[in-house]
Amino acid sequence: MTSYKAKQIILSSVLVLAFTSFLTGKTSQYVSGLSPFFSSVSQMEGNFFDRAKEKRFQSELAYNKSTRNKIRQVILEYNTGLDETSSLLIPEWILAESKKYGYDPLFLTALIITESSFYNWAKSNRGAHGLMQLKLATAVALASETHLKWKGTPTLYDPEKNIALGAYYLNKMMTRFGDLTLALEAYNQGPSRLSRFLRKGYLPHKRYSRKVFKNYRKMTENTQNIVENQPI
């Protein structure tokens, strides 16, 4: 073996060991001279991601605060039929369920306005109950799927549970139909009925979804009126 080839083999071995150390996070005594470099790169990456994470966290806090205040303002325009404590907690429940499914909390708020105008004791002539106007049979099935403790019809007048079931139901319709407008129409008229129309080649009239989007736009257009100094 020539001296040149021997040097090539040694150099290749060192490079392989260095690359392996980089991937595994382990350093070898043969490439210890390279470890400070890898360590500094790793530290810089860690600092960058920590700063980015902190920035996202602070941005989320600010957004949640302004959104919470906006929802509180909206609720003040309606008679919820609830005591003050429960009314103050509604924004927290909306924020929690929105985060779970990736909704804009103001969109879920718009849906509640469309369904019940935030009146907790609302009951339709079709037998839908509560803030998000869920029918009994639908709610029983949803409670079973989400492992929510069911105590009969009174469960639908528990605002926290009603919002949880309604948010889950909308997400279920979104998963099934893959389109927000169709998901809203299915939420309103039922998925089976909407599916029958679609199979026949008919498109939904979209009156209901337009109402929801209108209420949503109304809130998002007025976000500059949010009172930032209200307590969290």
Question: pLDDT tens, 131-163?
Answer: 999 999 999 999 999 999 999 999 999 999 999
Residue 60 lies in a domain: no
Residue 35 lies in a domain: no
Residue type, 68: R
Residue 134 has a CB neighbour count (10 Å cut-off) of 24
Domains held by the chain: number: 1
pTM as predicted? 0.72
3-state secondary structure 39-79: HHHHHHHHHHHHHHHHHHHHHHHHHHHHHHHHHHHHHHCCC
Residue 117 lies in a domain: yes
Owning domain of residue 217: 78-225
Tell me the pLDDT of the chain averaged across its residues: 81
Q: What percentage of the chain carries pLDDT values higher than 70? A: 70
Residue 159 lies in a domain: yes
Residue 28 lies in a domain: no
Residue 203 lies in a domain: yes
The enclosing domain of 147 has a CATH number of 1.10.530.10
Residue 152 lies in a domain: yes
Question: pLDDT tens, 96-123?
Answer: 999 999 999 999 999 999 999 999 999 9
Short-list 111, 158, 105, 150, CA closest to 132? 111
Residue 16 lies in a domain: no
161 sits in which H/E element: helix 159-177
